[in-house]
Amino acid sequence: MSEPTEPTGTVEEPEPVPNLPVRPPVPPMLAKPVKAMPKQDGTLFYEPKWDGFRCIVFRDGDEVYLGSRNERPFTRYFPELVEAVRAELPDRCVVDGEIVLPTGSQLDFDALQQRIHPAASRVKMLSERTPAQFIAFDLLALGDESLMEAPFAQRRARLEGIFPEKVGSVRLTPVTTSDEQAREWFETFEGAGLDGIIVKPGDQPYVPDKRTMFKVKHERTADVVVCGYREHKSGPVVGSLLLGLYGDDGRLHHVGVAASFPMARRAELVEELKPLVAELSEHPWGHWAEQAAATIGQPAAGPSRGGQRVPGAVSRWNAKKDLSFIPLRPERVMEVAYDQMEGDRFRHTAHFRRWRPDRTPESCTYEQLERPVSYNLDDILAR
């Protein structure tokens, strides 16, 4: 689950606050990462981890409020979900869940990100062309009753009671109390675009903004080429390393970034990488910088140039954001850990594991990446 950035310049009009026993804004309850699947102790519930926008739905009759993690409502961006909530959820309720966007039999996070747009006309068009769904996984209030203090086992039972049918745009996430089945889901559901398992103690109340649940995510490794770096916002030290992989076309594509270095290490990396600093005109991505500079003041473009993945473009959300980088000769290889791919890029920031002096840059290709076996999203929601 992720949180989109609000487009720069967007002016939010105040939205009506539903008169419910639990009222917005409510920061959602969170999960802390663990390496291994927690074993069943008699209290645990296991759910698929959906890859979308976390959202708490508040409905009071015709008033619907789609809350987000950063407390900026999603309501205006997903008009089709507002109508679905009115049609498919009880008249007065508060439901925690995830906004997702299926494309075919899988989730499409790239398409979901496109739904956050400042233009009302485009919001309307996208709501018709790429409609979203809401996956419910917790019940915070029903009617005039707050369920925040009730244990999750009770909240889940009440939630199941408001979903008599497994159809529509508002769906109920599957759940199991079997850690063995959870491990099976962990391996198979990734093929539909899900990214792990959430584990919930059944005896705990709903605690906003606290990591009282657990999440188990995939971790894989890849050998990548270090192609440059961006400076840290605090000064002339490494903020993030730009990573590349060679495609079948023989070109070096931008696959993501590695960050999260201690500050002392960021300064060391500047000195360590200094011998590799190159002229931008001689760098495989040099043409990107020229094109990006030419687009200043122009509508934001996508991150692909002529089929080649490059390190960004004018930011879609903030045209003033500095996306410049220090080019490095693509000669050093490092091993990174990552969780999943989104198209041909790492879905999240990769993490440095070790340098690989035994690998040549040309050997770092997309072929090494593990791809999950495809799995039908409808089969998950039919459970």
CA 173 to CA 39: how far, in whole Å?
21
CA 119 to CA 138: how far, in whole Å?
32
CA 335 to CA 328: how far, in whole Å?
17
Determine the residue type at 248. Answer: D
C-alpha triplet 80, 200, 204: angle, nearest 5°: 105
Determine the residue type at 196. Answer: G
Task: Assess whether the previous peptide bond of 25 is cis (omega < 30° from 0).
Answer: yes
Determine the residue type at 129. Answer: R
Q: In whole angstroms, how far apart are CA 176 and each of 191, 197, 339? A: 19, 11, 23
The single residue of 39, 49, 166, 215 carrying the catalytic annotation is 49
233 is catalytic: no
188 phi/psi in degrees, rounded to 5: -95, -35
- The kind and range of the H/E element at 28 are none
CA 212 to CA 103: how far, in whole Å?
32
Answer positive or negative: Cα dihedral of 110, 115, 116, 122: positive
The conformational region for residue 168 under phi > 0 = left, psi -120 to 50 = alpha, else beta, is left
CA 157 to CA 152: how far, in whole Å?
8
The strand ranges marked E within 268-325 are: 304-305, 308-309
Residues with catalytic roles: 49
